Structures are given as structure tokens and as C-alpha cells.
Amino acid sequence: MRIFHIYIPIAIITSIAVCCSTPSEQQTESEAALSQAEVAANPAGEYMYGIPIDSFEVERHMVKRGENLGVIMARNGVSPLITHNINEVALPKFDFRGIRSGNSYTLFFSPDTLRTLRYFIYDIDAQRYIRCSISIEPEIELVQREIHSKEHFATATIESSLWTALTKQNLPPELALGLSEIYAWTIDFFGIEKGDKIGVIYTENYVDTTSIGIDKIVAAYMDSHGHRYYAFRYEQDSLVSYFDMEGNNLRRAFLKAPLSYTRISSRFSNGRMHPILKIRRAHHGVDYAAPSGTPVYTIGDGKIVAKGWDKKGGGNYIKIKHNSVYTSVYMHLRGFANGIAVGKTVSQGDLIGYVGKSGLATGPHLDFRIYMNGKPVDPLKVEAPPVEPINNDELERYIAYSDSLRSCLCK
């Protein structure tokens, strides 16, 4: 653990007679003198956590495993009574029992020979910290750091995956997740090819100069299989969604795939050689190879009409009826999500089970199938209709807005 020290003496320290004072009087008089010294020594102000650092000796530490507030306070000369009072006063704002190893804390000591701890700062996370004045009657403040956003534009060319393409450009990894969610209904991310391109306008949140994550994706395009897919963030009727150039919602009736970050190991076929039975028979689904335990989600709203064990080799399976036309089936599951039962209504993206290799399977994968009017169809070729397009009375405004964003994307 590295310890950083900042030693800056006070320019003027007022002499205080303490010989005949009680401990509490000493504390009060010392604090009064310190406040006067702070003003004199720091008229222009270099501050840390709102405290003038040239009035103190400052140390910064990391919480070690097994440490708590009592251990830290005792090591720095604070009495158990004051530590108790700090806990009591802080409780409505922060419970110090939740102090976490690895988080940073900062100590502000008086710069005299007594070297008394005056302030204790605990960083809860990147956005918040607790500021505590050390005294018999401590003052506790939960401080929210000022957050500001910056807009960025970036492009990347895909070599193997969207995530790899973005990280090679030193772009935030969250962009890959955000883009995959935006395009989940329109782009098959298992079918993206080397040379496909992505462009994105996004805002990122910062505390001072430190990034604390992506705020939102404003606009994007993706070139895939010779077509450019645009996405523009737009609020309509108090709801935010992503739309294409014509104002169609990118959200579809079905997700393009029921799980994330994997590969296709077998496609829809009317005569595939079965890897275990060694005979040719129809394989009316798509096999997604993935680690055992990978979450599986329903591709659309619907009702669970079957759940159990498929005696024909499918192992643990779930069947969901989405409407009068479409039904989806999920096979070879390791197990089912909590609460999954026949008759239950599910919403698009709900967790329903986990990838496994139950039934006739050589390794963990999901056998995913879609039926249209009772007949099997290739899940990779299903074209579900869009939902919630831009309203007609809003369309002209949206077109002007998306045109301006497209100009920025295509610079």
C-alpha cells in the first residue's frame, strides 16, 4: 500500500494556553485557532474535499482487508468515545459498517507536534464521499461530487468482434454492451464480418478528469453485409428509444438472439448429421455454443406453454407462445430460472434458464427454435415487424434531428 503525504505548515499559529483547560475546552479553543489559521494561510484556496490542504498534513490510504472505522480511528489516536459518536451521527447518511476494503480514505492532521486528526474522508465510490470532522460532537456530510458530461465521436473497424474493435481504439467497454442492446433487434451479432464498421456519438460522465462511465449513446451507425444501419436516440411521449432514418423503432417484436457473446455451432437444416446418433435428420433450430450456465432470455413477450424434459433428446426445455403466429423453444438447458412455470407470462429479455448439455448433446449449447403457424422456420431469417414508430405529428421534427446527427456521424 502506498501512502501519500502532503506536508504544508500553517503560516501563522496562534499560541493557546491550555494548561488549565479541560480536554473539551482544549478541543474547542484549538479548533477556533485552527479556523483562523486556515483563513490566513489559505486565502486563495487549494482544496481537497472542500478542505484547505495547506492548513494540514494530509495522508491518503486504502482500506485493508479486515479493517473498519474503529481500527482506523484507533491507529490515528482517536478515542473510542469519539469513534462511537461518529458512527451515531453518520448513521442516517452512511453506515460505516459498510466500509469496503480497497476503497480510499484521506486523513487531515494538524501540522503541530500533537499531530491531531481533524478530518476523516471516506470515498464511497467515484461519485460520493463522507466528510467527517473529528471532535466530541462530529459533523458528518455526505457529499455528491459534481458530474459533468462530454460528448465523443468514434469509429472502429471490426476484425473479430465488436468488443475487440472498440477496446483496440481505447474506447469504453460499455459501448459494446450498449450498442449490442440498441441493435439487438436488427443486427445478428453472430454474423458480423471482418471489415464491418461502426460509428458512434456518445456522452461520457466525468468527476474532475476521471471517467465514471458512459452516460448515453446519442447516435450510431453500423455497416454490416453491405448495409448501413442507423440508430438515433429520441424521446417520444416521455419514453426514450432508438429509431432509424425513417423513424422506425429499432426495437422489434423479437430479439435477434436469446443469449449474448457466443457463436453459432450449427444452423437450421432439413438433413443434418446428428453428432451422437450418427444419422441424418432434420435440425430445425440454431445451436449457440456457450459456456455452461450462460443466461438464456426470452426473445419476446409471451406465455410459457411447456416446460420440462424432452424425451426426443432435447433435455430440459421451455416453450413460449408469443402470439397466434409465433412460438419459440429453448433446449438442452442446464436448469430453469426461478419462478419459471407453465402458464407464466414473460416479457422480452426476461431470464428463463441457463445453457447446459442436457439430453443428447456433445457439449454445452442452446438449441433455439422458432415456429411460425406451427411450422419450424429458420430463426436467423425471421423478420419481426417494428414497434412504436415516430408519431406522424412528430416525424418532421425527428427527420430534421436525425439528419443533423447523421451529418456528424458521416464526417
Longest dimension (CA), the chain: 100
pLDDT tens, residue by residue, 8-51: 443 333 333 333 333 343 344 434 434 434 433 444 468 889 89
User: Which residue ranges of the chain lie beneath pLDDT 70?
Assistant: 1-45, 261-262, 268, 270-282
Which of 212, 232, 203, 200 minimizes the C-alpha distance to 398? 232
Residue 386 is classified by DSSP as: B
pLDDT tens, residue by residue, 80-99: 999 999 999 999 999 999 89
Assess contact for 318 and 307: CB atoms under 8 A. yes
Q: What does the pLDDT read at residue 411? A: 73
Q: What does the pLDDT read at residue 31? A: 42
Q: What does the pLDDT read at residue 402? A: 94
Distance from chain centroid for Cα 137: 39
Q: What does the pLDDT read at residue 325? A: 82
Q: What does the pLDDT read at residue 260? A: 77
Assess contact for 59 and 5: CB atoms under 8 A. yes
Task: Report the DSSP pairing between strands 365-372 and 286-289.
Answer: antiparallel
Q: What does the pLDDT read at residue 207? A: 86
Q: What does the pLDDT read at residue 261? A: 59
**Global pTM exceeds 0.85:** no
Task: Report the DSSP pairing between strands 117-123 and 128-133.
Answer: antiparallel
Assess contact for 56 and 9: CB atoms under 8 A. no
Q: What does the pLDDT read at residue 280? A: 54
Q: What does the pLDDT read at residue 117? A: 96
Which residues, 6 or more positions from 175, have their beta carbon under 8 angstroms from its beta carbon? Answer: 154, 166, 200, 202, 214, 217
Q: What does the pLDDT read at residue 180? A: 85
Assess contact for 376 and 328: CB atoms under 8 A. no
